[in-house]
Chains A and B, each alone.
Chain A
Amino acid sequence: MENRVVVIGGGIAGIEASLDLADAGCRVTLVERTPSIGGKMAALDKNFPTLDCSICIEAPKISEIIQNENIEVLPLSEVAGIGGRAGEFTVTIDQRARYVGDECTRCDDCVPVCPQILPNEFDVGVGARKAIYTPFEQAEPGAYTIDIEACLNEPPNYLPCDRCVVACLPKCIDFNMKPATRHVREAAAVIITTGFDLFDPRNLPEYGYGEHPDVLTSMEFERLLNASGPTAGELVKPSDGAHPHRLLFVLCVGSRDQRFCHYCSRVCCMYSIKEAVQAVDHGIEDVTVLYMDIRAYGKGFDDFFHRTQEEGVQYIRGRPSWIQGNDGGVRVRYEDTVAGSVREENFDMVVLAPALLPSRGMGNLASVLGVEVDADGFIRTVGADGSLERTTRDGIYVAGCASGPKDIPDSVAEASGAAASALSYIETRSWPVPEAVEPIDVSGDPRVGVFVCNCGSNIAGTVNVPEVVESGRGLDGVAHSQQQMFSCSANTLRQITETIREEKLTRIVVAACSPKTHGPSFMKACGRAGLNPYLLEMANIRNQDSWVHKKEPEAATEKAKDLVRMAVEKARRLQPLAKVRQKVVRGALVVGGGVAGMSAAAALADQGLETHLVERELQLGGIVRRLDHVSGIDLSAQEVLREKRRQVAQAGVRVHLGTEVEVVSGFVGNFHVTLTDGESLNVGGIVMATGATPFVPETLGYGKDARVITNLELEESIPDMEAEKVTFLGCIGSRQGDKGCSRYCCQSMIQQALRLRKAGKRVRVVSRDIRTYSRHAEELYEEAARWGVQFFRISDEEITEEQVAWEDGRLLLHDTLSDEDVAIPSDKLVLVVGLDPPAAGAVEEQLKLAVGQDGFLLESHPKLGPMEAAVQGVYLAGSCQGPKDVGESISQGLGAACKASVLLARDEVEMEPLTAIVDAEACTGCTLCAKVCPYSAIIAPLKEPAVVVNAACTGCGTCAAACPVDAITMPGFTDEQILAQIDAATEENPEEKAVVFACNWCSYAGADMAGIAKFQYPPSSRIIRTMCSGRVSEKFILRAFERAAGAVMISGCHLGDCHYLTANYETEKRFRRWKKKVEARGYDPQKLELGWFTASEGKLFAERMRQLHAQIQELEAAGAEAEVAGGGE
């Protein structure tokens, strides 16, 4: 049987599924209809709520797809047929010709000569393209393609145009390519990830779209915001090119609308909020969002929503009756339903949020594949186990928007879940062995190659790249220096690989973006050339330079030169390192036996892995055990559990009931676990599925008045409910303080309300925004309303007893819709409670798993890594990462299993070689290092050489900074390397510069974030990255002052947030000492600063950089005055 899976659709869901499958040793054919993969995410400017640059976080994944030998990408292709059955499908794929061969160098010479001008689909028609074109610069595989329908060479035009053929120097344009090629692939399973298309607002003629050029869709607006879009990121009105001053966003255009799409499109609220705040950042003073319910349901979404309110975005509850052109502007009439007044206003631009539709041709694809679509045309998902990835045909799975609107994290989770399900059909795994490359000898004098990225206009728009290239060329040890358009695109990476071999380069400097996001791509490029990947150093001239000094191009260019010089100086001193290979124990531990944990455990055991499922209670099932009915997936809770228990038993999961983890130690690939039942386990990976705890109310008479119950208590008593008048009150213990939306509750509440209403009760629902975002939930809301459930809307603020009171069987509240105080007589008051984070257990505490502000476990990346913890080898499933409903928890359980199986499928795992090395001869046995080590990873008997326990050492370097005799070396961050960076930073005009030490996890990431958010600050800082602020040693500080630096800042994570447990407390202690020492040496101690930042505090980082700059100038001025005064004496 073929160990292949066909993935249809190359957006982020298809990419994620393909990478998971390929990494787990499965072959993948990725079929994409358009010329390039990346999907809609590649066209977005930023992602909510992190405001990450969308393509920047997607491009490394695209490159990975292209470079992964297990993945075959078929662009311009569509599935034409399928035969066979699950485990042994035969898939027929038709591919259209690209007419541009692989020899294309992306020189773009063909484009200007092409006479055909067409709207660019990638820019959703806002921009133009030719018949030969590349959708976007980072497009893969193969950038250029010919739209043969539009090409003049295509009959009926018999006069060949051939202008592009003449212009193409490598002669790679070939009109004789066969127009269509048929591929046949044997596949064990198929995953559908075809994404979505947008509703055409012309269907709502009263909204003026298509009539007035300044009425845009959100996607068009997204392209206007994008630096690589048609206006290079300048926000202008299509009508006259002027800057808009008043902007209106309109939600639910075609969604939640009986005439078009009944359903909620789920993502529009959040992306519109994001676009609105971006508009504010672009300097637009007056930005309004017209909404009906803000559905900020995801992790961190509410917080983001509130931040945008603080930044000045206005939110008005209403919906336009019409939008029409008016004297150059756009006139809009709507009712502000909270104020109860109709307004007619002029705006400069109106952005519509159209409904998400199944992607064009979905019906046809579904019938080819023999799977059913639902009434809305999305792929129908089934599964008695509540799985959201199962289609109506065995062996065919679905993920992302193909089964209904979804945001990126949910799409990614489903993609991994679908991959996990598909993997159960894969019997043999294989990983292509990378072609053996002759290793490059790096022993001689370093030959440094410098590659400076333009990043389109992201860098080149501010920094004079050729000048940086030239300056780099002149540095000691540099043998090669060049610029590149996009260093991270696959063909450019190939160029780096080739240049390394051709020029015999032994050290590489890439001056581009952040090593945190793109380091791995460039390291792989080195590896493919035979160069040790640890001989790469990056200069961050984008996030920490061009993006934050937009108005000072000259100073930014000088800074870029400095950053390159610092990188070159460090690179010359880099030494080859070898990854530490660690045996992987092919077994897994799943902590928590709710539906997420059961799903994860079953999926892991299904792949032949020894899997232990530990559950504290005496039964599996978690909260679902308390439910009667599961809303959303619309199944009986007991049936879902029965099916899950069957899966767990059938897969051979070892279940430990009434058991908890007592002790856990070890690291990725090899964790040692002792359970409270006395059993000891060795596992390679751990899936956390500890769920959440329902909030216990203390207000509104709960616990005192028997009439007041929670929704969970109602669930237990709903079949024999006697009360006649039942009132629900939502958001109890959700959306308060640091707590976000609990996701499951609105839908579940309405399900219960409808059930009671159908049983003839008087049912009332009192809530803030109704957030029925998930599939069919809006329809449920509507059905409940039609049945006569009465809905009351209270103000969208935290619920207090001031706002809502319970008095003598009456719920008193202010209904904002009628603007009246209302008393609702109720026999039962049902408090709909949110989900609180679970109490931390042994695993969280002993493995130091990070926790977010809301108290839930923190994922490695909110968009693309929702199921992985920051600690390697630990995965997150279900509500322990943030509240989820049952379907979502199951989906994430499968996804986490997939991520774990990628690790556990192989015998070995590679670990970063960053652990401390003690020079036994130099060591005096003072034991200082052992005292400061947060992990007790150093065994240091007094007067004897210290020994580092490699498996326990995490490479923070706090010990190295403490060693009085320099006997500890931190690979990749040696004293010599860091001192060389300091020297390079202070070579010219040191008194104007600030040397800033930044830790890899928080403060460096915060500096990157300042760039992403384009927070501007003066270009005086020169950032030196270390793994932890604990690595910064006294000699670095003194060296910077000796070199006359204008200021020195040590920065790291906030106290308590340190990624190395307590290491930054050590930094704080040292800092106080250094202040005195600096003063004693005759330097101004005011010039030494300490800064704590989280990875998201870009704004704070920029603010501190501005202060630092002001202080440098002040002190410099004061110094100059003192000198003048002194000179006069």
Chain B
Amino acid sequence: MMTEAVVELDDELWQSVYEITAGAMNPCYQCGTCTASCPFLSYLDRPLSARKILRRAQLGRGDGMEDIWMCSACRSCEVRCPRDVHIVEAIMGLRSLAFKARAVPPEMNRLLWSTLEEGNPWNDPRSERARWADGLKVRDAAEGVDVLLYVGCAGSYDPRLQGVARGLVQVLGRAGVNVGILGGRERCCGDAVRVTGERGYLQRLVEKNVKAFSGTGATTIVAISPHCFDMFRNLYPRYGLEAEVLHYTEYLEHMLDEGVLKPPRVKNSRVAYHDPCYLGRSNGIFEPPRRLLESVPGLELEELRDNRLNALCCGGGGGGMWREEGGERLSDKRVEQVKEADIPLLATSCPYCIQNFEDSTRRMGGPRVVDVMELLARPKAV
């Protein structure tokens, strides 16, 4: 039975895997629920097997780990895991190990350099960062504000997404909220750095951001992207961030409850809501965006078949936005589902989801893709 290819257990390597993942893979009893839950399963010739990744980690193996770069950190596996294994944490740990071994896909290296040099992973010029707010009346947070609005890299640079931040500034301003932005001094939140497995620079970046945020005196930080939000809420407190962190849909829900948000009527339409992975599965925020949509006169919210914990993934998380791949994408499946349900409008609340879905609809047609924010306020033209 024994073949020549016997794997010799390497205690040292095992120890380093154990330490870098904090033993996240240990409790796994290899039932395979994760593998069978992975959204990549339906599209790729070579499915991503979370179970096998965890198994190799359990054995203390550093080799044969190419699959770890495919994971979009959507946590579809984690929410069904009977052993409460922090699978994404384990995979990110393994990426760190790979990073140390210089076994990182080239696109990951590129985004790191870009973040280091320009403060964003898209290699857009640092000087252009605040352009989205041109002509908009908004305070510089350095003046001292209650609420710091963190726009994020995609929201700052992508012209398609800039309206979201603009709309939000207007709605908050109208309600009399003392809100400000960092403008050109805003830097990447670090999510993109984290998914490369790099750790030293990430720590420095986070520390710098915490210092910048704290300097504004803001007691609340509102993030537009669920990816930034996830970093601020779950990682930053470990580096001393004390302000309350909210996703903008949570903040607006409070405003709705207080009667200070009155969404304007829109043309009658059915709308579907797509739960972004980092907002829903990762942070349990399912209801605020739905409540916002339901508050818009003229909209009729319909649930997609796979919603909330079972929502599909657009493929953008975990570094997916930078991965170079051809052929069918995860976002296509979601768009397909909306098309089948014949719903003309697909709302979500994550810039990556919007970019990916629009990428799909450009190729395959389908619903108009919007951010929830875009249905709550009509931004003034620049």
Taking beta carbons and an 8 Å cutoff, which residues of A are in contact with B?
205-206, 252, 256-259, 292, 317-322, 333-337, 340, 342, 725, 762, 764, 770, 782, 785-788, 790-791, 793, 802-803, 805, 810, 812, 814-815, 817-818, 820-825
Task: Specify which of B2, B11, B84 is in contact with A805 (CB 8 Å cutoff).
Answer: B2
A105 to chain B, nearest CB (A): 52
Is B65 interfacial (CB-CB < 8 Å)?
A: no
Measured CA separation A258–B33 after assembly (Å): 14
- Structural contact, A782 and B27, CB atoms closer than 8 A: yes
Besides A335-B32, A805-B2, A818-B56, 6 other A-B contacts (C-beta < 8 A): A319-B33, A335-B33, A342-B32, A785-B28, A821-B1, A821-B3
Instruction: With both chains docked as a complex, state the minimum distance between the C-beta of B11 and any C-beta of chain A, in angstroms.
Output: 6
Do B84 and A820 have beta carbons less than 8 Å apart? no
Identify which of residues 80-129 in chain B touch chain A, using a CB-to-CB cut-off of 8 Å: 80-84
Q: Which residues of A contact B29 (CB under 8 A)?
A: 256, 292, 770, 785, 791
Please name the residue on chain B nearest to A778 by beta carbon: B29
Contact (A793, B6) CB under 8 Å given A206-B310, A335-B36: no
A337, B9: Cα distance in complex, Å: 21
Whole-angstrom distance between the Cβ of B76 and the nearest chain A Cβ: 8
On whether the beta carbons of B23 and A824 are closer than 8 Å, the reply is no
Q: How far is the CB of A517 from chain B (nearest CB, A)?
A: 41
Q: Contact between B23 and A786 (Cβ–Cβ < 8 Å)?
A: yes
In the complex, the answer to whether B8 meets A823 with C-beta atoms within 8 Å is yes
B1 and A803 form a contact (CB under 8 A): yes
Contacts of A340 in B (CB 8 A): 49, 52
Whether B55 is near chain A, meaning CB under 8 Å from some CB there, is: yes
A contact residues around B34 at 8 Å (CB): 321
From 9 to 23 in chain B, residues with beta carbon under 8 angstroms from any chain A beta carbon are: 9, 11, 14, 18, 23
Are A762 and B33 within 8 A (Cβ)? Answer: no
Residues on B with C-beta less than 8 A from A321 are 33-37, 80
Which residue of B1, B36, B47, B83 is within 8 Å of A258 (Cβ)? Answer: B83
Nearest neighbor of A293 in chain B, beta-carbon distance: B29
Select A337's contact among B30, B37, B83, beta carbons within 8 Å: B30
Query: Which residues of B lie under 8 Å from residue A318 when comparing CB positions?
Result: 31-32, 36
A259 with B2: CB separation less than 8 A: no
Interchain CB contact (< 8 A) of B36 among A334, A764, A805, A822:
A334
Contacts of B55 in A (CB 8 A): 817-818
Chosen A-B contacts, 5 in total, with CB atoms closer than 8 Å, are A256-B82, A337-B30, A342-B41, A770-B29, A785-B26
Given A257-B82, A259-B82, A821-B2, A790–B31 Cβ distance below 8 Å?
no
Q: Which of A319, A782, A786, A825 meets B32, CB within 8 Å?
A: A319
Q: Is A790 within 8 A of B6, CB to CB?
A: no
Question: Complex Cα distance A336/B309, Å?
Answer: 24
> What residue of chain B has the Cβ atom nearest to residue A319's Cβ?
B31
Residues from chain A with Cβ under 8 Å of B3 in the complex: 821
Q: Taking CB as reference atom, which chain B residue is nearest A725?
A: B11
B30 and A817 within 8 A (CB): yes
Q: Which residues of B contact A825 (CB under 8 A)?
A: 8-9, 11
B382 interface residue, CB < 8 Å from A? no
A397 to B55, CA, bound (A): 44
Output the least CB separation between A821 and chain B (Å).
5
Docked complex Cα distance between A333 and B47 (Å): 14
Interface residues on B, range: 35 or more
Given A206-B80, A820-B7, A821-B6: A793 and B27 interface contact (C-beta under 8 Å)? no
Question: In the complex, A259→B41 CA distance in Å?
Answer: 24
Cα separation A320 to B28 with both chains bound (whole Å): 16
Q: Are A823 and B6 in contact (CB under 8 A)?
A: yes
Q: CB of B381 within 8 A of chain A?
A: no
Residue on A with the closest CB to B11? A762
At the interface, yes or no: B58 with Cβ under 8 Å from chain A? Answer: yes
Q: How far is the CA of A762 from the CA of B1 in the complex (A)?
A: 26
Contact of B2 among A764, A791, A812 (CB under 8 A): A812
Is B138 engaged at the interface, CB distance under 8 Å to the other chain?
no
A790 to B5, CA, bound (A): 21
Max chain B Cβ within 10 angstroms of own Cβ: one of A322, A725, A810 = A322
With CB as the reference atom, state the residue of chain A lying closest to B42. A344
Report whether A786 and B36 are in contact in the complex, using a CB–CB cutoff of 8 Å.
no
Q: Report whether A258 and B51 are in contact in the complex, using a CB–CB cutoff of 8 Å.
A: no
* CB-defined contacts of A725 to chain B, threshold 8 Å: 11
Q: Which of B9, B30, B37, B310 contacts A823 (CB 8 A)?
A: B9
For residue B59, CB closer than 8 A to chain A, the reply is yes
Interfacial chain A residues near B59, Cβ < 8 Å: 790, 815, 818, 822
Contact B9 A322 (CB under 8 A): no
* Residues of A close to B14: CB separation below 8 A: 790
8 Å CB contact of B49 from A257, A320, A335, A790: A335
Residue pair B35, A342 in contact (C-beta under 8 Å): yes
Contact A802 B1 (CB under 8 A): yes
Which of B1, B58, B83 sits near A790, CB closer than 8 Å?
Answer: B58
- B305 vs chain A, min Cβ distance (A): 9
Decide: A822 and B9 in contact? CB cutoff 8 A: yes
Q: Identify A342's interface contact among B36, B58, B310, CB under 8 A.
A: B36
Among A320, A335, A342, A825, the one with the most B-chain Cβ atoms within 10 Å of its Cβ is A335
A974 to B3, CA, bound (A): 70
* Chain A: minimal CB distance from B60 (Å): 8
Q: Which of A258, A336, A817, A825 neighbours the largest number of chain B CB atoms within 10 Å of its CB?
A: A817
Measured between beta carbons, the chain A residues less than 8 angstroms from B26 are 785-788
Q: Min CB distance, A204 to chain B, in Å? A: 8
Do A292 and B31 touch across chains, with their CB atoms under 8 A apart?
yes
A693 to chain B, nearest CB (A): 31
Residue of A nearest to B47 (CB): A342
Q: What is the chain B residue whose CB lies nearest that of A337? A: B32
CA distance A805 to B26 in the complex (A): 26
- Shortest CB distance A721–B (Å): 17
User: 10 closest A-B pairs (Cβ-Cβ)?
Assistant: A335-B32, A321-B36, A258-B84, A319-B31, A257-B82, A321-B37, A337-B32, A335-B35, A821-B6, A335-B36
Q: Who on chain B is nearest to A824 by CB? A: B9
- Which of these, A206, A317, A762, A788, contacts B23 with CB under 8 Å? A788
A793 adjacent to B30 (CB under 8 Å): yes
Q: How far is the CB of B192 from chain A (nearest CB, A)?
A: 29
- Report yes or no: B310 in contact with A821, Cβ–Cβ below 8 A: no
Q: Which residues of A contact B30 (CB under 8 A)?
A: 292, 337, 793, 817
Chain A nearest CB, measured from B237 CB (Å): 24
State A805–B2 Cα separation when bound (angstroms): 9
- Measured between beta carbons, the chain A residues less than 8 angstroms from B9 are 764, 822-825
**Closest CB of chain B to A509's CB: distance in Å?**
57
Kindly list chain A residues whose C-beta atoms are within 8 Å of the C-beta of B80. 206, 321-322
What residues of B have a CB within 8 angstroms of the CB of A256 in the complex?
29, 82
Query: What is the bound-complex CA distance between A322 and B51, given in angstroms?
Result: 16
Closest B residue by C-beta to A342: B36
Picked from B7, B35, B37, B83, the residue with its CB within 8 Å of the CB of A782 is B83
Instruction: Determine the chain B residues whose CB is within 8 A of the CB of A786 once the complex forms.
Output: 23, 26-27
Taken together as a complex, chains A and B put the C-alpha atoms of A788 and B49 apart, in Å, by 22
A337 close to B18 (CB less than 8 A): no
List, in ascending order, chain B residues with CB within 8 A of A793's CB: 30
Known: A335-B49, A342-B36, A817-B55. Contact between A822 and B7, CB under 8 A? yes
Which residues of chain B in 259-314 are interfacial with respect to chain A, using CB atoms and an 8 Å cutoff? 309-310
Task: Report how far A817 CA is from B56 CA in the complex, Å.
Answer: 9
A252 and chain B: residue at smallest CB distance: B82
Name the one of A257, A258, A791, A812 contacting B6, with C-beta atoms under 8 angstroms. Answer: A812
Contacts of A336 in B (CB 8 A): 32
Residues of A close to B23: CB separation below 8 A: 786, 788
A338: nearest residue on chain B (CB-CB)?
B32
- List the B side residues contacting A787 at CB < 8 Å: 26
Note all chain A residues with C-beta closer than 8 A to B33: 319-321, 334-335
Q: From residue 300 to 347 of chain B, which have CB atoms closer than 8 A to chain A?
A: 309-310
User: Separation in Å of the A12 CB from the closest CB of chain B?
Assistant: 30
- A935 shortest CB reach to chain B, Å: 54
Q: Taking the nearest CB of chain B, how far is it from the CB of A796, in angstroms? A: 14
User: In the complex, how many angstroms separate the beta carbon of B360 from the nearest chain A beta carbon?
Assistant: 23
Q: Which residues on B sit within 8 Å (CB–CB) of A803?
A: 1
| B7 and A335 contact, CB distance less than 8 A | no
